[in-house]
Structure formats: structure tokens, C-alpha cells
Structure 1
Amino acid sequence: MDKLINLTMSYRSDSDIFTPYGYLEQNGYLEQNEVAINYTIPEKSELVAWIVSNWNPSSRRVQFYEELKKYINIHVFGRQHLALDSDQTFSVVSKYKFYLSFENSIHTDYITEKLWKNALVSGSVPVVLGPPREIYERFIPSDSFIHVDDFPSAKQLASYLLELDKNDQKYQGYFKWRSKLRPVGTFSWIVHYCKACVELQNVPSYRTISSLGKWFT
């Protein structure tokens, strides 16, 4: 692929055309003295959920799950697990306090619908396994998620989740950011195609990327 690609269009923020799996937008323009929007946390009756289709026992996320489930109850949906139709994702996940947003690959800026649609749009606090915390914080507030790397072990992560389960005030702190921002995790690819059209019209000159593989590593 060397010297064949003219522009990059991907989930990476340093792409020529940035196409993330989701993003945050303002709830609305807030005047200086205007009261921020009150977000209603969906009613919670369950603790931890995870939707997974690609079950690879040797992957870090499955191995971490196998350790985590020793200390906390987790409901797993998807192939070979509890059945869940795609149109039920919001209604089911919204009942859970926490959602395991575990990526199947670890790459720069690779933050998929597992965070945006499954967790944030559904109103569940994401427990993330993916890029380092500082990368997540480029796209979402630091107090909107829990990163597995913040804990030395799965046991201590489980203890923290159980602590939040018993402390409503501390748990609700993970929703404060929603007074000003809201997640967008479902949109048409037409939005991204429009970005490509604009970029193609405005690109200053013809070029090729000398090494696409080097850029992606």
C-alpha cells in the first residue's frame, strides 16, 4: 500500500478525515447564568453487563473477564452467552450500573461503539479496557469512565465497583458531565462521507502517503 493512498480516513484523530465511532456534543448553548440540563440516570436494577461476539480465550479482555468474574457478578450477552437482539441493547444495558467496554484490539484512538453506543448512550458507566487513560481523556471527561489500568488487579477493580454500588452519591458522580454534554454513538455514515467530500475539495495539492503501515503502527 506504499505510495498508493492519498488521504487517510479512520478512527485515528490524526487521520486526514477523522471518523470516530462516537463523540460528545454540547447539550445546547449555555448562557453565563443559565442552569445546566439535569440528566436523569436510568433506573438501575442490575450491576455489570458485557456484550461480546468475538470470544477469544487467549485475548486480554477475556482473560481479564475470567479473573474479574471471580469477585463480582457479570451478565454476559452475545454469541454462546445470553441472547440479546441488537434493538434491545439500550433497554437492557440501561438497567446495569456498569458496562464492560472491552476493546478486542489495542490501538491508538481505537475506541469503538462498545464505549459510545453500548455504554454512554445507554446510560451505563463504562469500565474500559483499551488504549491508555490519557487517550480516552482526549475524547471524554476523566470522571465519565473507569479504566481497568487504574487498578493493580481485577479483584481491586471489583471491590471498587461494589463500593460504588453501595454509595449512590459517589456513583452518581460519574454522570455530572452530562449536565453540559451528551454522547452521540449512532449516526449515518453519510456524515463521514460528507467529511470526505469536503476534504477532497479543499485538499491543497496532490500527494501520496509513503508508508501507510508505518503510520498505523
Structure 2
Amino acid sequence: MEKRIHSKKTFTLPYRHYLFHFKWPLVGFAFVLSLLIFVQIKLTSIFIPYIIEEQHLEHFNKNIIYPIVLLNNDNNTHRLNMNYYFLKKDELKIMDDIYAIKKKQKVVLPSIKNRHKPNSYLILESTTVFGRPRFCSYTNEQIFGRACPYRNCKYTCDRTRDSDAHVLLMHKRDLNYKLLNSIKRNSEQIWLLWHDESNENSPEINRYKFNWTITYRISAEASIGAYGIIILKETPWSAQQFDSWIDEQFIKRHNQAVWFVSNCQPKKRLKKFRSLREFYSIAAFGKCVSSNESFSLNAQVQSNSKCQRDSSCEQNYLKNSKFYLAFESQSCTDYITEKFWRTLALGAIPIVSGPERENFIRVAPLHSFIHVDDYTSDEELAQTLNLIATNRSIYEKYHHWRRYYDVHHEAKDLDPFRFCELCYRLNTNTQRIWYENINDWFLDKC
């Protein structure tokens, strides 16, 4: 039995004693997994009511996670939509998992034969979340959501149940390494690491061999709704409702972009802002920009010191400008944060940089955003922004998706998606997983 030896404590790797029984080639593993997910997707498509418009039909087999537009939208359909998210994500993460296995970041093994599956699952909040209890006062319905297709997951904060819980949920910022060292680990128990930040180097966490992660990375065991999510409207807008909305927004919103920035370290995005503002009006706020660098067409303009991020002032700018600079601080794969989702939710068009374009296409409709990498110069980008802002038919093209979709970007709306996915994973996963080098896995795509 292989063991990893450390100065203070020896940890037996979970399931390692089964490793010599399973020498599956990676190609074979990928083929079998792809086949299973293909069958699941096809079976799901039989039972999902089909599409309103041809443009949505072509999206069904593309690399997108958000659900297709359906003919009816009752609660049962919502459940099928959640299954669609989960199945589609499983399809998209195959290559990422193979890559992580090759890089020895992650170990994925087949299940043990005749292994007993419990009828219900208990998830224990084993640490605080940013120093406070997170879900201790919530009901199971609030945590997992009314539309979750699985109803057999329970959540507890009773730490006397750490031995019988199926999952120990630990928030990375709140890890107590002394406590971790004292836990007598059960190889059947899943250690789940929750971490939504990017590009943090923490090699010390490798020794604990976490089984699963809940984070923004699509290849995590739970990732849907990390910072935001596209969902189907309960009732799609009629053509008349949509035209009326476009007319109102096109007239009231200023031909300008807005930017609120507080982290001055990512110099690349500051450079991009200063270059773009030479060709296009940008109202910028925060300690990273001086007042003479900001130009606003809003008659109600406030000084830099008064208009703060997450304030009513910021919301006012977002609701009255046509664009927002949703520049990410990092270029990590799948790292698309609340600034992008909040912009969509408040009716503006996000101008994005950081992760590659394909990362955004996976989670948001085409023509819902503008990626700076699509333009050869900032002058060309500025010309495009001006064209969109002054031509109603082109402006409408960037909002057409709003007829059918809404955006969630607040934690109270996102948490049920995240924890429903966790419950789905508990009910359907048959593989044995642990992270051999979880720190490298987090840093590798940054």
C-alpha cells in the first residue's frame, strides 16, 4: 500500500490500495466516458420539449452550458433544464479531466464493484465561510432549490457528525490545518474544497488529497453558477414586449462605457482602458484612475470619491450606459466573475478581457458581450462600440437573447444551482476521485 509521508503526519491516499487493479489507458477511459455521456444527452433530448426558433436548435450540440429555449416552462421542465446543465457540463469537461490526469493533478478511477450507494447524503459544513457560518440557518429547500431533480441531500452544521457525513465541505480561506491533521479520515468520505478565487499559490493543501472541488472551473465537480448563470425566462417576451424594451433602452442609455475598478495590480487592463479612452467615452471610477481620466456623458456625474463600486451610483451608471468594461483581473480559464454577470443583469453590454472568448461563449449567448481580442486595435473596437450605440438594429442584435433568458448573479439565487449540482454528483458519480496536486490544478490554467 503506497503512502505519502510528511514530517508531522502520514496520510493514506484514499482508494490507493485499489490502484493496481485498474490500469485503464486514458484513451479507453475517454471513449467509455464519452459514450456514456453521449447516450445520456440523446436520451435527455427525447424527453425535453423542443425548440421555439431554429437559431436555438443549432445551439443544442454546441459547446454551451446554458439551456436551450423550450416550448413550455413549468416546474418539471425546469428540472429537465437543470439536468441539461449537468449533462452538458459532463460532456464538456471530459478533455479537461484527461488533461488533469495526464499532468498528475487528478486521479480518476472506476468504481468498486457492488459498492453500496446510500439512499440519502449528508453534507457537513466543516469550516466557516469567510469567518461565518454559511448555511446553518437555511432549510434544505433553500440550499438545494425547489427545482433540483434530487431531493435526498441534507445539509448540517453539526460537527459532531463529522464521522457519518458523506461530504465534509471546507472553505479554503477558512481551513484550519491543525484541525485537518487531527481528523481520522474515512476513505468513503468525500473531502470537498470550496474556492472561488483565482491564481492563489497554496502548495500546502496538496497533502490533504481533497476528493472534489466546488469552484469556478468547469472541470470542478461542482461549478455551475459560481458567479452567475443564464436561465430561461418563465415566460418569453413577445416580439412587441422586446421591441418596446429596446426602444426605451436605446433612447435612455448614453453612448459610453462605464468602469469601476479597485484593484490596481493588473496593469494590462489599466493600459487597455487608457488606450481605449483615446477613442471612446469612458466614465471610470476608483482609486486606480484619476478624475481627469474619466469622461461621462451623464448629466448627474458624481466625483470619483463619491461614486463607489456596489453603490446605487454604480447601478445608476450601469442602467444608463450602453457598455461596461468587465475586465477580469486574471486570465484564468473559466474565471468570469460578478462584474460580467451584473452588467448583463442591469441591461448593459459587457466589454470583456481576461479569459479567452470561448470561455464566455460556453456560459453566455452569442452577441451578449464584446471581447477585446476580436479587434486588431482599440480604434477599431471604439468604432464598433459607436456603431452599436447609434444603430438601433445592430444594438438590438446584442440584446436579442433577452427575449428568452434572464441572468442570476446574486448568491441567494446561485447557491441552489451549485448545491443541486453537488447533490446530482453524489447521486450519479460512480468514479473514485482525488486531487494529487490540487494547487497545480488551480494554477495551471492561469
TM-score by length of 1: 0.86
3-state DSSP class of the match of 2:326? Answer: strand
Map 1:1-217; keep pairs closer than 5 Å. Answer: 1-2=205-206, 3-18=208-223, 19-28=225-234, 35=238, 38-39=241-242, 40-41=245-246, 42=249, 43-56=252-265, 59-79=267-287, 82=304, 83-84=307-308, 86-88=310-312, 89-117=314-342, 119-188=343-412, 190-191=415-416, 194-195=419-420, 198=423, 201-202=426-427, 204=430, 207-216=433-442, 217=444
Higher RCO, 1 or 2 (CA under 8 Å, sep at least 6)? 1
1:46–1:95 Cα contact (<8 Å) kept? no
Aligned amino acid, residue 274 of structure 2: E
SS at match of 1:183: strand
Q: Which has the higher helix share?
A: 2
CA drift at 1:48:
0.9
Equivalent position amino acid for 1:38 in 2: Q
Q: In the comparison of the two structures, how many residue pairs are matched? A: 212
The Cα of 1:176 is off from its aligned counterpart by 0.4
Q: Which runs of 5+ in 2 are unaligned?
A: 1-204, 290-303
Three-state SS of the structure 2 residue aligned to 1:38 is: helix
- What's the Cα RMSD here? 2.5
TM-score normalised by L of structure 2: 0.44
Change (3 A) 1:153 1:196: same
Classify 1:149/1:200 alpha carbon distance in 2 versus 1 (closer, same or farther; 3 Å).
closer
Q: Which amino acid aligns with 2:434?
A: T
| Comparing 206-215 and 184-193, the one that deviates more | 184-193
Letter in 1 for 2:285: F
SS of the counterpart of 1:21? Answer: coil
Give SS of 1:17's match. Answer: coil
Q: Find the aligned partners of 2:257 and 2:405 in 1 and give their Cα distance.
A: 24
Letter in 1 for 2:227: Y
Pair 1:4–1:72, CA change in 2 (3 A):
same
Tell me, yes or no, if the aligned pair for 1:36 and 1:180 is still in contact at 8 Å: no
Paired amino acid for 2:437: S
Percent identity between the aligned chains?
Answer: 28
Q: Distance in 1 between matches of 2:341 and 2:322?
A: 15
Q: What runs of 5+ residues in structure 1 fail to find an aligned partner?
A: none
Matched residue type, 1:104: S
1:37–1:180 contact (8 Å) kept in structure 2: no
CA distance in 1, matches of 2:240, 2:211: 43
Higher Rg:
2
- How far apart, CA to CA, are the structure 1 residues paired with 2:354 and 2:272? 12
